[in-house]
Amino acid sequence: MRKLILLLLIPLLSFGQNQYMSSKMSFLYPNDYKLKGGRIIQDVLVKLVPKDIKKNENIIVNINYNYNSIDDVNITEAIKAAQEELESGLKLLNTKYKVDLISSTKRKIHKKEIIEFIFKSEVPEYDITAYQLKYLYVENGKSCFIIISYDDGKDYSSVANYILKDFKFL
């Protein structure tokens, strides 16, 4: 009887998620996103986009070796670097723009200590307002960035939490 119950639960537990796996990392992500092969942004390991073409958020997952532990992160410098990265992309539009930090928080999610940043970017000439949610997670000398860009003002932390829950460095 137990085996029958387990066999019935396995499809339910795995329904609604996809797995990304490479030689560097693995994680689960919601099945309403798909991997995008061509990446416009340089130095991106994984880019996920919604399957629904009406949605425009995207998710980037990247690894580097900037930090050995979360305690090595100077939050002020990390904010400055993230803001400069956003601004360098906006400069390509050749118009006025504004990038503001909405919040930065250090907290635990799924027993993993992270630093969360939320930025808001505005380009008045094109009537564009965009947000970026960034999680910084460090384990075993590797830094993981989970970045979700979106324009609707909704809270996408549940998606980032979903990825972070199962995130593994390989």
Does domain 17-169 fall under CATH 3.40.1000.10? My reply is yes
For residue 157, which phi and psi values (nearest 5 degrees)? -65, -30
Q: Write the DSSP assignment of the chain as a string of letters.
A: -HHHHHHHHHHHHHTTEEEEE-SSEEEEEETTEEE-SS-SSTT-SEEEEESSTT---EEEEEEE-S-SSGGG--HHHHHHHHHHHHHHHHHTT-S--EEEEEEEEEEEETTEEEEEEEEEEEEGGGTEEEEEEEEEEEETTEEEEEEEEESS----HHHHHHHHHH-EE-
| Identity of the residue numbered 80 | K
Q: What is the pLDDT of residues 16-46, one digit of tens each?
A: 689 999 999 999 999 999 998 765 566 789 9
pTM of the model: 0.86
pLDDT tens per residue, the chain (170 residues)?
A: 443 333 334 333 444 689 999 999 999 999 999 998 765 566 789 999 999 988 989 999 999 999 999 999 999 999 999 999 999 989 998 999 999 999 999 999 999 999 999 999 999 999 999 999 999 999 999 999 999 999 998 999 999 999 999 999 98
